[in-house]
Structure 1
Amino acid sequence: MSLIPVAEAQARMIALGAPLPIETVPLFQAIGRYAAADLLAKRTQPAADLSAMDGYAIRFAERPGPWTVVGESAAGGGLDAALLPGQAARIFTGAPVPEGADTILIQEEATRDGAILTMSGEGPPAIGAHIRRAGNDFAAGSLLLPAGTKLNAPAIALAVSGGHADIAVHRRPRIAILSTGNELVPAGEPTPGVMLPASNGPMLAAMLARDPVEARDHGVVRDDLDLIAAAFMRLKDQADIIVTTGGASVGDHDLVLPALKKAGASIDFWKVAMKPGKPVMIGTLGNTIVLGLPGNPVSAFVTATLFLRPLIAHLLGATDPIPATTTARLGAPLPHCGSRAEYLRGRWRDGAIIPITSQDSAALFALAQAEALLVRDIDAPPLAAGDPVQIITLA
């Protein structure tokens, strides 16, 4: 099976499953999820003309006064009667503008002697100054959040302001994480000889900890065809995504692919034109999507960034689940890129991004210092320090 480009692999992965079923949840439970349908405003914001400053409600044409202060308007309340000519009202930020007033004189430019008010500074620059007009933010019936919008804190505040207490979203994906390898031992246990701590499972679980998913690390399975196939059969009814690390290459002990076939899976693709992370594999086992990632921890991290997290975002209903790239200034030269796209670990220095010295796919110390991935397309030309480069920022 020939190598396929990263973008094609991502598109084929996304096509394997539709967003998960829709449920309605309280807004405080929706953080990080995506609106499953267009959300319309139930109310107008502001509902009336409101003051944007502390000061006095006046008629612009009556500057510089004097005015007689006849009452006050505070947030949540207001005057019972309209202002007559020559009258003003004390007003506070967020309070309704009384009928008969058309401008706010801020308190720093006002002088008051008892009930008598005069303008002492330059005054408001134009009629309507310092007033937030009714519907200036949004009107009832207007579109607040299109379907597919990620629900961050401002989006949730907007939905609440629009009159909503809950929202339709897609169900949280259930993720089963499975590591394979005879050389792996659970975290914290002794590692005699050349044994290794199983870091990929905890790393992937940590990557997903802030995402709206139900992720569970199922530990390590030895390099045994029947054991791995049995694990797939056991997990397929428990998870929307089974993500494996290790055993996805071509060695005698790389058994994930044959184990998937033994369990009855359909393989969509295997091997992607990228570095690190070439032996990425994806297929379906019943209604479950299976994503096989490399065993080297850096490769697992990079491929999880480019495949696992976008797949999760797609199942959650994201409009564009693929990680966005941004342009940065390169702080060190880069050579010509070869026949595979490269995702170099980098960090910021003096406002520029530089590749970390060690790009080895097992170098976890270097990975822990990384702040971004430098994206190099297949056959990309050399770059000099100061040139623009595309990056994916790492959270």
Structure 2
Amino acid sequence: MARRLMLSVAQAQRRILALGHPLGSETLEVARAAGRYLAAPLHAQRDQPPADNSAMDGFAIRFADLPGPWTVIGESRAGHPFEGQVAPGQATKISTGAILPDGADTVLVREDAGMDDDRLSLSGDGPAEIGRHIRRAGGDFRRGDQLLAAGQLLGPGALALAISSGLGTVDVGRRPSVTILSTGNELAAPGSLAAANQIYDSNGPMLSAMMMGLCGDVQHLSGVEDDEASVRAAIRSADNADILVTIGGASVGDHDHVKPALVAEDAALDFWKIAMKPGKPLLAGTRGRQVVIGLPGNPGSAFVTATLFLLPLLRHLAGASDPLPTVGYAHLRTALPAGGSRTEFLRAQLDNGSIAVLGAQSSGLLHTLAAADALIQRPEHAPPVEAGTIIPYIALYKGNA
């Protein structure tokens, strides 16, 4: 059997993640830790809720006193509890989130209540059971409970949970620093007057945007000349970065100097071909403590390979327990033909639970890249797929949308 020269996508992902290790931790104020990965499990510092409280606006009563009437003797408001005790035949006004007064065991909602001065009467069906409309102390979590695991992302909901648990600071993974190196004599700066033989350097800013929130620092070295000496000098200037990302020049053409320049600068290359489309010429290795990833130069290829390999590496170094892209499922809107000899990643659009492949899949087409919000993965030699089939997809980065 012929020896396989190219890695599968899964093999390449495992090997890239194995090139680096999480960068340790730092302590942040919890309100400033959004988007970071926990370096240690998070445990509750108190019960939540800390006391029985009302889930509705209404009146705190004794269930045994139904159907009333009651004498209203005070009020319990959020942040200002009623200090006395509710005796038989008595009630207090109570607002949502306010502590349930001693003696009361049920909340009569305002919609079922009638008031005449301090006299409360039942005007609707009333509570059907004792304890109605009460949130019990510790009903969400108890002091000492583990709420979040190490490696979990502090997204908006998790951040609210961490703050509500009583924590003021959290230990989170350090974010990696990245240097992006764009090679090519043909590259022109954004907004400049580009000649007919030039293209604008869109890949560097695109990758910087994709990495936003995952990096501590991003430096972009653009327009590095297509000669080995210039590429080597740029590589040396990135010595302090945790990750060096090169764009273009990693193939085997006469003007592809990235690979020999990396070797000359003492990089140990792990692999440089993957059995996938787009993105076959992807390079990975290390240079001392630094992880090196060489992405293809076509924007579509750079975007897809960054999604599958670079972003997982960033998450891994930042302490994520599950750094690989999240997979979703949707109904296929249009049929797909049989696949080719490499794993394919087709740019697609999601729409209300269904997904369709965009027509133009050339890796150099930017309008397709801008329109796509998902990738459909097709295995090697995949059979045809009928419309309506539920298929997996990977959601693409769309900024804050």
TM-score by length of 1: 0.97
1:85 aligns to what SS in structure 2?
A: coil
1:8 aligns to what SS in structure 2?
A: helix
Alignment check: 8 A CA contact 1:224 1:255 kept: yes
Alignment check: 8 A CA contact 2:29 2:169 kept: yes
Q: Work out which of the residue numbers 145, 150, 155 in structure 2 matches 1:152.
A: 155
- 290-299 or 248-257: bigger deviation: 248-257
Deviations 1:60-119 (CA, angstroms, capped at 9, x unpaired): 111110111111111112222221111111111111101111100001101111222111
Structure 1 residues 28, 219: closer, same or farther in 2, change over 3 A?
A: farther
Q: Work out which of the residue numbers 117, 120, 134 in structure 2 matches 1:117.
A: 120
How do residues 178-327 of structure 1 correspond to structure 2 at under 5 angstroms?
178-236=181-239, 238-327=240-329
State the Cα distance separating 1:46 from its structure 2 match. 0.7
Give the structure 2 partner of residue 391 of structure 1.
Answer: 393
State the Cα distance separating 1:254 from its structure 2 match. 1.2
State the Cα distance separating 1:352 from its structure 2 match. 2.6
Structure 1 residues 166, 350: closer, same or farther in 2, change over 3 A?
A: closer
Alignment check: 8 A CA contact 1:75 1:93 kept: yes
- Work out the number of aligned pairs and report it: 394
State the Cα distance separating 1:190 from its structure 2 match. 2.3
Alignment check: 8 A CA contact 1:376 1:390 kept: no
Alignment check: 8 A CA contact 1:346 1:371 kept: yes
Give the structure 1 partner of residue 38 of structure 2.
Answer: 35
How do residues 97-136 of structure 1 correspond to structure 2 at under 5 angstroms?
97-136=100-139
Alignment check: 8 A CA contact 1:265 1:286 kept: yes
Q: Work out which of the residue numbers 5, 10, 35 in structure 2 matches 1:7.
A: 10
Give the structure 2 partner of residue 174 of structure 1.
Answer: 177
Instruction: Return the letter of the residue paired with 1:93.
Output: T
Instruction: Return the letter of the residue paired with 2:273.
Output: K
Instruction: Return the letter of the residue paired with 2:16.
Output: M
State the Cα distance separating 1:349 from its structure 2 match. 5.0
Matched residues in 2 for 1:30 and 1:254: separation?
Answer: 41
1:374 aligns to what SS in structure 2?
A: strand
State the Cα distance separating 1:210 from its structure 2 match. 4.0
Give the structure 2 partner of residue 72 of structure 1.
Answer: 75
State the Cα distance separating 1:28 from its structure 2 match. 2.6
Matched residues in 2 for 1:212 and 1:251: separation?
Answer: 32
Structure 1 residues 68, 212: closer, same or farther in 2, change over 3 A?
A: farther
Matched residues in 2 for 1:127 and 1:385: separation?
Answer: 53
Moved >6 Å (runs of 4+): none
TM-score by length of 2: 0.96
Matched residues in 1 for 2:99 and 2:352: separation?
Answer: 49
Matched residues in 1 for 2:82 and 2:204: separation?
Answer: 63
Give the structure 2 partner of residue 86 of structure 1.
Answer: 89
1:392 aligns to what SS in structure 2?
A: strand
Alignment check: 8 A CA contact 2:174 2:319 kept: no
Matched residues in 2 for 1:212 and 1:106: separation?
Answer: 50
Matched residues in 2 for 1:78 and 1:185: separation?
Answer: 66
Alignment check: 8 A CA contact 1:33 1:212 kept: no
Deviations 1:344-391 (CA, angstroms, capped at 9, x unpaired): 111135753111111001001111111111111122211122122221
1:155 aligns to what SS in structure 2?
A: helix
1:260 aligns to what SS in structure 2?
A: helix
Q: 1:16 and 2:19 equivalent?
A: yes
Deviations 1:266-299 (CA, angstroms, capped at 9, x unpaired): 1111111110000111100011101000011110
State, as a whole percentage, how many aligned pairs show the same letter: 52
2:207 aligns to what SS in structure 1?
A: helix
**Any gaps of 5 or more consecutive residues in structure 1?**
none
State the Cα distance separating 1:209 from its structure 2 match. 2.6
Instruction: Return the letter of the residue paired with 1:232.
Output: I
